[in-house]
Structure 1
Amino acid sequence: MSEPLLSVQGLRKHFVQRKGFPRPRTIVVRAVEDVSFTIAPGEAFGLVGESGCGKSTAARALLRLIEPDAGQVTYRGQDVLAARGAELKALRRKMQIVFQDPYSSLDPRQTIGSALMEPMRVHGIATGREARARAAALLEEVGLPAAALDRLPHEFSGGQRQRIGVARALTLEPELIVADEPVSALDVSVQAQVLLVLKQLRARRGLSFLFVSHDLSVVRWFCDRVAVMYLGRIVEEGPAGRVLADPLHPYAKMLRDASPVPDPTRRGVLPRIVGEIPSAANPPPGCPFHPRCPQAMDVCSKVAPRWTVASGGGGVACHLHG
């Protein structure tokens, strides 16, 4: 097996808060706890789960947009968390991100051309006419005219702004794109257009993706492998076809069953996911999912499940398969 492009091992991120008056108390929010996965060259890896499960925090921590508390992140064998100065700057060229909100990720007072050319200037790739020509080519690659260079973000629709976000992520010719809920803020028809652009770019440029989403239908269509997160931890991981068609973890099954299927003959009442996600500041003992799990056993509330290799690829952290 070839060396992974990106390897994440034991990633952890806690947020410390002070709450209460007049005697404030310290609260530790365990946003990401012992997250591990790898991404191969040219692979699309999905990270799925309910809102608040820590998937976006994990994505930003491995890029060091927020600094993780512990863990190891290596990119082609190079330690990302230990990189400093010019070494870190070079790594940032190879790993770029597309944010969820296409409007807030753009400076409203900066033209699109300036937003695309600035990274080229900072990293010494191109300046002047050459940078403008590169920016125009990037816009055309994502389906926008070169005339958009002189316009401001508010002059575009949400789908067009997200295409601009994709173009900006490509300015430094990266190998890995972290797509953090890239289509969740868009209308369904526009989602399909942006996803098609991403898939075409992946094929044409040989890009790898870390695709963060709560939409299983999108992940099923776009990703090769998928990891299911719950309360800051990965509870199941494996080939997208296996995990989404025949999930092993009860939480992954609940997510799959609650995802609508575009088939009129299979319409019906979607099952409701029972209960709320426990607070990451006070996670339950044992398996974090046991308060909501329909198959919970006594051991689930006392002992954290070990990671078990699955026969169809990947693995699962569940006492039912331990």
Structure 2
Amino acid sequence: MTPLLEVDGLVKHFTVTKGFPRPVTTTVRAVDGVSFSVRRGEAYGLVGESGCGKSTVARAVLRLIEPDAGTVRFDGADVRAARGEALARLRQRMQIIFQDPYSSLNPRQTIGQALTEPMRVHRLASGRAARDRAAALLDEVGMPPSALDRYPHEFSGGQRQRIGIARALTVEPELLIADEPVSALDVSVQAQVLLLLRDLQKRRNLAFVFVSHDLGVVRWFCDRVAVMYLGRIVEEGEVSAVFTEPLHPYARMLRDASPVPDPVGRGALPRIVGEIPSAANPPSGCHFHPRCPHVQDACRAAYPSWRRRGERGAACVLV
């Protein structure tokens, strides 16, 4: 099956200038050669510690920030090469759910205006038809039609995130990029929103790129997962396989540090040595080697090549 989304060698670096009176310019390697693919109707997870580049990948795929290198193909079309009307059509098919439900909505727009504006921009509906369609979308995400004439500040965080999901659906996308969509919500509300996303995925055959640092959420929602560390993917595979028997020491560390909601199966949390290196000055060789309990001389000398084991893969000399 041809993937819906193909990302190959994606790179995004940021230039940062600090210091006075002699400022020093450094390059932050936020995303440094990321490759993955997403099938139609599949939920693909991106996990890793804060600062590993997950959200930068999500925004670069949609060109909310411009990548420096690499290719992004959606249903065979080159996203980076698209301009004008072609880019608008691609963006109609790819939408994003932002992490913060408070800042992702314009406080000066009513919910009706926020939902009907994308329909007008993409010439899908206008006037009464657009408003009726917005009301139907609100109903689909569990919100009353009366919300159309209210403002974002009148809703709770969970309700705003439902509205954000409805806004992403206004243009009938095929792929949703969910950037930490439940991390700002209470646990009970998280469960409701996740159930809503799963229901929408099945009903609309939506593909997801699900960005999260919560392994429990990814384990429940996603089909496949990629583990990121310092701008690179270090392991990829089926969720059940990666979380049951990780190949990469960093993936194992993440798995062991994730809380288990079972007193019988719960063990002592592992002792994690060292701090995450700076993306402005990553270690030589494998970026994880200063923290790895299985480090070898080869790990310090060069970044390990990608090695496959069946349907799984990892960038580690131990595989």
TM-score > 0.5 by shorter chain: yes
**Which amino acid is the alignment partner of residue 52 of structure 2?**
C
Distance apart, 1:310 and its partner CA = 1.5
Specify the alignment match of 2:23 in structure 1: 24
For 1:141-156, list aligned pairs within 5 A.
141-156=140-155
**Which amino acid is the alignment partner of residue 117 of structure 2?**
E
Does structure 1 residue 189 correspond to structure 2 residue 194? no
Partners of 1:170 and 1:139 in 2: how far apart? 10
For 1:48-127, list aligned pairs within 5 A.
48-127=47-126
What runs of 5+ residues in structure 2 fail to find an aligned partner?
A: none
Partners of 2:123 and 2:144 in 1: how far apart? 25
Distance apart, 1:25 and its partner CA = 1.5
Specify the alignment match of 1:320 in structure 2: 318
Does structure 1 residue 134 correspond to structure 2 residue 117? no
1:34-83 CA-partner distances (Å, limit 9, x unpaired): 10000000000000000000010011001000000000000011000000
Specify the alignment match of 1:300 in structure 2: 299
Specify the alignment match of 2:157 in structure 1: 158
Specify the alignment match of 2:239 in structure 1: 240
SS of corresponding position for 1:219: helix
Partners of 2:10 and 2:156 in 1: how far apart? 36
Distance apart, 1:234 and its partner CA = 0.1
For 1:210-221, list aligned pairs within 5 A.
210-221=209-220
Distance apart, 1:12 and its partner CA = 0.1
**Sequence identity of aligned pairs in percent?**
72
1:183-237 CA-partner distances (Å, limit 9, x unpaired): 0000111000000000000000000000000000100100000000000000000
Partners of 2:105 and 2:247 in 1: how far apart? 40
Distance apart, 1:99 and its partner CA = 0.2
Partners of 1:178 and 1:274 in 2: how far apart? 33
Deviates more, 1:260-269 or 1:73-82: 260-269
Specify the alignment match of 1:47 in structure 2: 46
1:107-161 CA-partner distances (Å, limit 9, x unpaired): 1111101000000011101111100000000000000100111111111110000
**Which amino acid is the alignment partner of residue 313 of structure 2?**
G
**Which amino acid is the alignment partner of residue 315 of structure 1?**
G
Partners of 2:260 and 2:179 in 1: how far apart? 23
Partners of 1:253 and 1:62 in 2: how far apart? 27
How many equivalent residue pairs?
A: 319
Partners of 1:165 and 1:157 in 2: how far apart? 12
SS of corresponding position for 1:282: coil
SS of corresponding position for 1:183: coil
Partners of 1:243 and 1:268 in 2: how far apart? 19
Partners of 1:13 and 1:137 in 2: how far apart? 39
Considering only aligned residues, what root-mean-square deviation do their CA atoms show, in Å? 0.8
Specify the alignment match of 1:282 in structure 2: 281
Partners of 2:274 and 2:50 in 1: how far apart? 14
**Which amino acid is the alignment partner of residue 175 of structure 1?**
E
Partners of 1:72 and 1:139 in 2: how far apart? 35
Specify the alignment match of 2:11 in structure 1: 12
**Which amino acid is the alignment partner of residue 319 of structure 1?**
V
Distance apart, 1:17 and its partner CA = 1.3
Partners of 1:182 and 1:275 in 2: how far apart? 29
Distance apart, 1:264 and its partner CA = 2.2
Distance apart, 1:20 and its partner CA = 1.2
SS of corresponding position for 1:320: coil
SS of corresponding position for 1:184: coil
What runs of 5+ residues in structure 1 fail to find an aligned partner?
A: none
Distance 1:239 1:144, change over 3 A: same
Q: How high is the TM-score relative to the length of structure 1?
A: 0.98
